[in-house]
Amino acid sequence: MNFEGLDHIGIAVKDIEKSNQLFEILMGQAPYKQESVDSENVLTSFFDAGNMKVELLQATAESSAIYKFIEKRGEGLHHIAFEVEDIYAKMKQFEADGFRLLNKQPKQGADNKLICFIHPKDTNGVLIELCQTQTEEKEL
């Protein structure tokens, strides 16, 4: 069971409006979507980058992982997200392979995705996100 492909890279930012302006210049387009993800205490913006996306993430609360990340490391690359066909099966497979998951069940993420993260200590310091596009409401 392989990845379906690279879905997006996530970039932690302090000021999403200022960063949107910067990325509009860099990418030659405005974000196609902006949304709040209350479960993660973040505001997100998505830019189309061809066969993948760039996601900007701004913390909306000090309890947010993005807030803590920026306090510790500053703005920058936060995670790499891979699309999977069946997030439940992929999570089970990775746990069996010895990877530590940061959540035991998928969570509702931005852009109509179910998400799960793999601990960066198990992936050479890179936070890996698994994401599955929801085609219908699935009970978590």
- Phi first, then psi, for residue 49 (nearest 5°) are -125, 40
Distances, alpha carbon 34 to alpha carbons 8, 56, 88, 133, in Å: 15, 9, 27, 17
Terminal CA-CA length for the chain: 22
What percentage of the chain carries pLDDT values higher than 90? 88
Cα three-residue angle 109-1-133, rounded to 5 degrees? 25
Residue-wise pLDDT for 5-58, tens only, equals: 999 999 999 999 999 999 999 999 999 999 999 989 999 999 999 999 999 999
Confidence of residue 70 (pLDDT cuts 50, 70, 90): very high
Give dist(CA 56, CA 44) in Å, integer.
Answer: 5
Residue-wise pLDDT for 71-121, tens only, equals: 999 999 999 999 999 999 999 999 999 999 999 999 999 989 999 999 999
